[in-house]
Amino acid sequence: MNPLIYDFDFPELAARVKSWGEPGYRGVQVWEGLYRNLWLAPEEFSNLPKALRGKMGGLLAFEALRPVARHESRDGETQKTLFELRDGLRIETVLMRYPAREGRQARRTLCISTQVGCAMGCTFCATGQMGFKRHLSSGEIVAQVLYYARQLADEGEKLTNVVVMGMGEPFHNYEATMAAIDRLNNPQGFAFGARRFTVSTVGLIPLIRRFADEKRQVNLAVSLHAAQDELRASMLPINEKYPIAELLEACRYYVGKTHRRITFEWALIEGVNDTPEQAHILARKVKGLLCHVNAIPLNPTQGFAERGASRQRAKVFKETLEQAGVPCTIRMRRGVDIQAGCGQLAVRAGKK
């Protein structure tokens, strides 16, 4: 297969165009066509000579992924697209629409995938239940964002946030994930602000430390879900390798290096991790750490029997944390009716 054009950063793309005997400014035109004009195919590059357009089409691939199914939630606020990759494997990407409310503008948040499946094996996550197929390339990650950027532009809207919380563990595919973010952040191209990205990890400590050392402005979220090792390990097998004490030490390192707040994600499971006791233990362990707890009642999946916490239990969990000085938000479930909620993304058959 021809190389995917979205897999090149600007210097690589410019060098490729120059190797065809083209002047340097042609590389800039191609880059801006891709990331500013959001052009999809060589023939759309009307500012380029016909011969160059033909060369681009013959030597580079433009179609990273193909939409094969789209589902919209009953409330119209969540849309999930099933994409087929060039090798026939499939991923899911979710767009969430948040209306404007007092003190906050309307948001259009995209949840993107970084892998086909996931190797982390978290018991309550449909992607973890699916198993690991392969990493996505940086270009395949980028292409998800550009697809929805085009759709929103056609609707007279703009993407406001990108959460790297879809299928896969982003830090397991660290190089490609960060390359994709850097490409989308490039001020001469898509120019999407670093602080509008949030990357989520189950807690791969060496990569958290590397991320901290790079002092990126990208937001970091850690999937914690339990405050005791035995309970966490029963849900997140990675805890056997990276226990909570070591994980929180890495989180403190991150905050110390970047001076940025870290978010802890917590899927509230009724009678399991939604108790005041778990909230008290968590509050003691994160005392003094610049953090925020993002809790959401567990979304149902076929491979996990437990159910999400009730509204009342979630309220008590939140209040217990806040009384102990730990800020907490109970997030709204989104897209559950189309299996688009947190932890629900999966492709039952790897190929069509």
- Active-site positions read 92, 342
Whole-angstrom Cα distance, residue 11 to residue 27?
A: 9
Whole-angstrom Cα distance, residue 337 to residue 339?
A: 6
CB atoms within 10 A of CB 349: 8
Whole-angstrom Cα distance, residue 235 to residue 97?
A: 30
Whole-angstrom Cα distance, residue 212 to residue 195?
A: 15
Whole-angstrom Cα distance, residue 41 to residue 146?
A: 13
Q: Are 246 and 285 in contact (CB under 8 A)?
A: no
Beta bridge partners of 93: 81
Whole-angstrom Cα distance, residue 248 to residue 222?
A: 10
CA neighbor of 179 nearest in space, from 206, 221, 218: 218
Strands (E) in the chain, as ranges, are: 65-72, 78-85, 90-98, 107-111, 115-117, 132-135, 161-164, 197-201, 219-223, 262-268, 291-297, 328-330
Q: Are 252 and 244 in contact (CB under 8 A)?
A: no
Q: Are 237 and 226 in contact (CB under 8 A)?
A: no
269-297 burial, b at 16+ Cβ within 10 Å, e below that, comes to bbebbbbeebbebbbebbeebebebbbbb
